[in-house]
Amino acid sequence: MGKTALVVGATGLIGRELVEQLLEEERYDAVWMVVRRSTRWQHPKLHEVVGFEGMDEALPHVDDVYCALGTTIAVAGSQDAFKHVDLDLPLETARIAKQHGATRYAVVSAQGASLRSPFFYNRVKGELENGLKVFGFDHLIIARPSLLLGDRKEFRLGEKVAEVVSRPLQPFLLDKLPDVAPIQALHVARALIMAAEEGQDTEVLTSGMMQRMSR
């Protein structure tokens, strides 16, 4: 019998890639996703839960969790609203998934995540990483990507400018500074899925590692 995957943040840049790739993975018989509103995506293996408040009651047994939840303060509207999406919901997902049998949790964090970071965004990501370790998953996979490339639904000016500036430097960065080079969202998703296939304890994937894994 195959495994069951749970994806939160499924409609975001990395989340969409995760869902698409997981549906093609033979080791998964079912892929569940929790979304704020119905996506109406259709696939025999895909199941949808609308609203986090219904997640606990709706979920079956879960094996592996993939968390790609994330926003910005500008989009969220405040630091508290940002923390709700990037910290509270991932931790709540971990709590519920653990009760439903999950032994692996793969999460998209950020390059520079640290409780001691001078930047609020990275401090929250550091708090998330530390909070997830408390649940005692057999395998916790933490991805720390650099600038993400891909087709976002919402426009982010800062990221778009950084992408345009860094694109001509991409070959040099990949060769000399792979952890700094921008990375495609599909490569992050692929690396998370590969890492979740085996392994134990806490595993941190840098951007350079994910670039190499996805080649």
| Catalytic residue ranges | 121, 125
Q: Is 108 helix (H, G, I), strand (E, B) or coil?
A: strand
Structure tokens, 71: 């926003």
Q: Which of 155, 133, 145 is nearest to 190 (CA)?
A: 145
Across the strands, what pairs with 50? Answer: 35
Structure tokens, 70: 């994330």
| DSSP H/E element including 4 | strand 3-8
**Cα 99 to Cα 57: distance, rounded to the nearest angstrom:** 11
Structure tokens, 213: 């894994």
Write the CB contacts of 111 (distance below 8 Å, at least 6 apart in sequence). 144, 145, 146, 179, 206, 207
Q: Are 160 and 130 in contact (CB under 8 A)?
A: no
